[in-house]
Amino acid sequence: MIVHGHEQMCTPSTYNACTMQTSDFPGTTPPACQSAQKVLLANADPERGLFAGAASPDHRGSEHHYASIWARDLGITVIGALSLSGDGMPSTAMDTIAHAALKSIMILAANQYPSGEIPTVVFPEGSPETGGHPYADCGETGGVDSTAWWILALRHLNAHAPALIDLDLLQSHIERAISWLLSRDMNQTGLIDSPEAGDWMDSTLVRHGKVFYNNVLLYAALLACNELPLPQGSPIRPAAFAEDLRERINMAFWPEEGKSWRFLVGPLGSSRAARSQGRYPHPATPEAYRHAVSQNRWHYISHITYAEFVDKCDTFANVLAVLAGIPDPSRSSLILSGLLDHSTRTPFPLSTYTEPVAANDISGMYKSHCDPMQGERWRNPPGSYHNAGIWPFIGGYWCAALAASGRKEDAIHELERLSLWCTANDFNEWGQFEDGAPGGNPCQSWSAGALLLAYRAVRNAGREDVREARARTVPLFAL
C-alpha cells in the first residue's frame, strides 16, 4: 500500500528479522532502527504533517484516529525521530521527517485556542464522525501535557534544523502556551493541576489533582522556553521559574520528614523567604504529606489529590524526571535501580505503572464502571492499555535514561529486549503486562521515534562531547 506518499508495508513480516545487536552500536545503523525509520517515513508527509500512525482501514477502522496530528505523540516522536540527524539516517529521510514535524507544529499553532492551550489532536481532513470536516479538540476532559509537548517539539526541531523555522513568527504562540500551562496552578503552590484523564492517560485509568507527570513536563517546557524567543517585556522568566519549580517538585512528590507545606504557598517566582514564615493553616494536606513519608522510597509519587498522596510509580514520569535533571544523583540512582528491577519481571520495557491497579484499589484510579462506556480497545482491565500495559515509547525513553546516567550495559540489554518486541510486533502501540501480546495499533510513530532515541543515547554513552553538552543543559536536550 501507499501511505502518505511513501511505499511502506506495515506487516509483521516486514520487521520480524530486524534485531538490535550489541556489535552494531559502533558502526552503522542496525536493522531495527532502519525499520523504525521506515515507519516514520510512512507516517510523514511534509504537506500534511507527521501523523501518530499509519492509515490502516483494515485495522479496527482506525485510519482517521491515528492518521492525524496528536500534539503529545508529536513531541515524544520528534525528540527521537531527529536524534539521528547527521548520524545514521539518510539526509533525504531526515528532511522529510523534519518538514512533516514542522507542518504539524504549525497546524497545531494555527489551531491554538484563545486561552493559549494547544489542541490535543487535529484531524486536518476530518473523520467519519465529523462528516469529513476538519476538526480539533482537547480530548474528553482536557490534555494538559499536549501544550507542553508542543513546546518541546518546537524546541527540539529548532535545535536540529534551525533553518526550517522562523521562530519570530511563533513568539506569541510560545508565550501564550507556557502562560496557559502556568495558569493551571489552582491554589498558587507553583504546581499545576490536571482534571481526570487530562493527559496521555485519557481513558478509564485516571489520575487528577497535582499530577507528577504534568509538573515534570511543565519543568521541561520552561527549560525549552529558555532556548526559545518570548515577546519583549514578557513576565515569564523561564530559567528562574524552572529552578523554583524543581525545588517544589522535589519537596511535594518525594515526601520527607521535616518539610513544611507552607513552603509551597505562593506562585512561581515568589519570595522564598516569605514562603518559609509561619505554618500552613489547613490540616489535611500536611497530615497526608506526613503519612506519605517512607524510608524505603525509590520513586516519586504519582499524584496529589485532596488529603491523599497516591503512592504509585508512574514509570514514564519518573524516567522523564531523570532525563530532565529533576532528582539529584542519589535519587536518580534509586529510581533507575528500582525500575530496572521491575523491568526484569516484564516481557519488555516498560509498563505504565509498576503494578496493575485493581477496581477496588483505594486510589480510585481504575474506573471499571466506566469501561462499558469506552471503546473496547481503550478499556483498562488490569494489565492492559494504561493500566500497567507495556508501552514501547516509554521503553525507549527508559533506555535513554539508563544510557545518559552511565548505565550503558543495562541500556544495551534493555534496548535489545525493546527492539525485538518492536520489530516482531510491527511497532505496535502497547503490549499486555503478563505476556507482552500486542494490544494496540501497529506502525506507531512514538514507538519508532523512541527506539531511535534509545539507540542514539546508547551509541553516545561515554562520548566526551556529549558529556560536555549535558553539563550545559539537561540529558533530555543532549542525548
**Cα 304 from chain centroid (whole Å):** 20
pLDDT for 466: 74
pLDDT for 224: 97
Residue 136 φ then ψ, to 5°: -145, 145
Q: Whole-prediction pTM value?
A: 0.93
Among 333-337, 338-342, 429-433, 456-460, the range scoring the smallest mean pLDDT is 456-460
Residues 218 and 245 sit within 8 Å (Cβ to Cβ):
yes
Asked whether the predicted pLDDT for residue 57 surpasses 90, the reply is: no
Residues 159 and 109 sit within 8 Å (Cβ to Cβ):
no
pLDDT for 22: 41
**Of the candidates 218, 474, 435, 451, which has an alpha carbon nearest to the alpha carbon of residue 346?**
435
Grade residue 58 by pLDDT with cuts at 50, 70 and 90. very low
3-state SS, residue 94: helix
- What value does the mean pLDDT of the chain take? 89
**DSSP label at residue 443:** S
Among 51-60, 208-217, 329-338, 436-445, the range scoring the smallest mean pLDDT is 51-60
Residues 221-257: tens digit of each pLDDT? 999 999 999 999 999 999 999 999 999 999 999 999 9
Q: What helix, strand, coil percent values describe the chain, rounded to 5? A: 50, 10, 45
Asked whether the predicted pLDDT for residue 154 surpasses 50, the reply is: yes
Q: Who wins on pLDDT, 92 or 309?
A: 309
User: What is the four-CA torsion angle of 468, 316, 453, 475, rounded to 10 degrees?
Assistant: -10
Residues 4-30: tens digit of each pLDDT? 333 333 433 333 333 444 444 444 468
**DSSP label at residue 468:** H
**Cα 44 from chain centroid (whole Å):** 20
Measured distance CA(63)–CA(52) in Å, rounded: 10
All structural domains of the chain = 2-186+317-477 (1.50.10)
Asked whether the predicted pLDDT for residue 190 surpasses 70, the reply is: yes
User: C-alpha angle 213/175/96, rounded to 5°?
Assistant: 75
pLDDT for 12: 34
Q: Helix 315-324 and helix 212-225: axis angle, to 10°?
A: 30
Grade residue 84 by pLDDT with cuts at 50, 70 and 90. low
Grade residue 85 by pLDDT with cuts at 50, 70 and 90. low
pLDDT for 89: 63
pLDDT for 35: 93
Grade residue 116 by pLDDT with cuts at 50, 70 and 90. very high
Mean pLDDT of 289-296: 96
Residues 191 and 209 sit within 8 Å (Cβ to Cβ):
no
Residues 6+ apart with CB under 8 A from 177: 112, 116, 117, 118, 147, 150, 151, 221
Asked whether the predicted pLDDT for residue 305 surpasses 90, the reply is: yes
Residues 55 and 3 sit within 8 Å (Cβ to Cβ):
yes
Residues 213 and 352 sit within 8 Å (Cβ to Cβ):
no
Among 34-48, 49-63, 323-337, 340-354, the range scoring the smallest mean pLDDT is 49-63
Residues 350-403: tens digit of each pLDDT? 999 999 999 999 999 999 999 999 999 899 999 999 999 999 999 999 999 999
**DSSP label at residue 70:** E
pLDDT for 206: 97
Residues 6+ apart with CB under 8 A from 328: none
Residues 282 and 365 sit within 8 Å (Cβ to Cβ):
no
pLDDT for 250: 98
SS (H, E, C) 254-293: CCCCCCCHHHHCCCCCCCHHHHCCCCCCCCHHHHHHHHHC
Identify the helix (H) or strand (E) that includes residue 378.
Answer: none
- The two counts, helices (H) then strands (E), for the chain are 17, 10
User: What percent of the chain has pLDDT above 70?
Assistant: 90
Q: Helix 71-81 and helix 445-460: axis angle, to 10°?
A: 30
Among 52-56, 70-74, 178-182, the range scoring the smallest mean pLDDT is 52-56
Measured distance CA(40)–CA(99) in Å, rounded: 12
Residue 342 φ then ψ, to 5°: -65, -45
**Of the candidates 233, 136, 119, 124, which has an alpha carbon nearest to the alpha carbon of residue 180?**
119
Mean pLDDT of 22-42: 74
At 340, list the grid cell: 530496572
Mean pLDDT of 75-96: 80
User: C-alpha angle 135/7/68, rounded to 5°?
Assistant: 15
Residue 436 has, within 13 A of its CA and on its CB side, a CA count of 18
Grade residue 88 by pLDDT with cuts at 50, 70 and 90. low
Residues 371 and 415 sit within 8 Å (Cβ to Cβ):
no
Q: Which residues of 223-254 are buried (b: 16+ CB within 10 A; e: fewer)?
A: bbbbebebeeebebbbeebbebbbebbbbbbb
Measured distance CA(246)–CA(75) in Å, rounded: 21
Cβ neighbourhood burial of 95 (10 Å; 0-12, 13-18, 19+): middle
Residues 9 and 1 sit within 8 Å (Cβ to Cβ):
yes
Q: Please report the DSSP string for 388-437 in residue order.
A: T-B-HHHHHHHHHHHHHTT-HHHHHHHHHHHHHHHHHTTT-S-B-TTT--
pLDDT for 479: 76
Residues 438 and 431 sit within 8 Å (Cβ to Cβ):
yes
pLDDT for 462: 79
Q: How many residues does the chain have?
A: 479
